[in-house]
Amino acid sequence: MSYGTTLSRVETYFDKTATRTWERLTSDAPVSRIRETVRQGRDAMRDQILGRLPADLTGVRVLDAGCGAGQMTQALAARGAHVVAVDISPSLVEIARKRLSPDLAARVTFHAGDMLDPALGRFDHAVAMDSLIYYDSTDVAGALKALGARTQSRIVFTVAPRTRLLMAMWRMGQLFPRSDRSPTMVPQSPTRLATTLRDAGCPGHLRELERVSSGFYISQAMEYASC
């Protein structure tokens, strides 16, 4: 599927189908044992991504691409960053806005829409936690190229790694009619992604970070800096 088609499916899923599920998952509310492993995995991945950025972000402009319910946004603003928090789901953006500490509100600009929108401006850093996992390598490379052209330092993002479990889940997902599917994660090979970036005329510097595996949460952190 094209980037636009996938984007539309992601919007429908998170803004209509799964909003309440994600609102609960990203809160302190009790969840099932399986979802608790996902929550723990996401917490660990968020900490890793934040660890790649300076502890003091005072005056630094950071894009939170796919901000969801705003946990990353809150942490970045607490470090002093001016955060542009964007998500394709207006419902999740509204949850993030309501959860933001009042003392941090002046540092955050929320936007409901495409994380690649050039109108969002330029950034010192960009983070994209689990917001590129539904796209193929061509679209991920295109997103990195677009963001890299407007990001001075680094883009820290995640992909779904090509593990046996995720590949099995991906193949099973293809058996369901398109109308019945949630957005399916597309497993990525860092080597292939690097090749796709070179083929797109923007090799940059792509680096593998740590993988987080926690129950049903499996995600590979990566870092990209444009040429």
pLDDT tens per residue, range 71-92? 999 999 999 999 999 999 999 9
Kindly indicate the confidence band of residue 162, based on its pLDDT and cuts at 50, 70 and 90.
Answer: confident
* 50: pLDDT strictly greater than 80: yes
pLDDT tens per residue, range 208-227? 999 999 988 999 999 999 86
| Selection from 112, 113, 117, 116 nearest residue 128 by Cα | 116
Token pair for 70: 């705003």
Map residue 56 onto helix, strand or coil: coil
- Mean pLDDT computed over 50-58: 98
| Most confident residue range from 161-165, 185-189, 205-209 | 205-209
* 149: pLDDT strictly greater than 90: yes
Residue 112 one-letter amino acid: A
**Mean per-residue pLDDT of the chain:** 91
The CA distance from 194 to 50, in Å, is: 23
* Domains present along the chain, CATH in parentheses: 3-160+189-225 (3.40.50.150)
- Mean pLDDT computed over 114-143: 97
Q: How many CB atoms lie under 10 A from the CB of residue 71? A: 18
- Give residue 227's pLDDT: 65
- Helices within the chain (DSSP H only): 3-12, 19-25, 33-51, 71-78, 90-99, 137-148, 164-173, 190-199
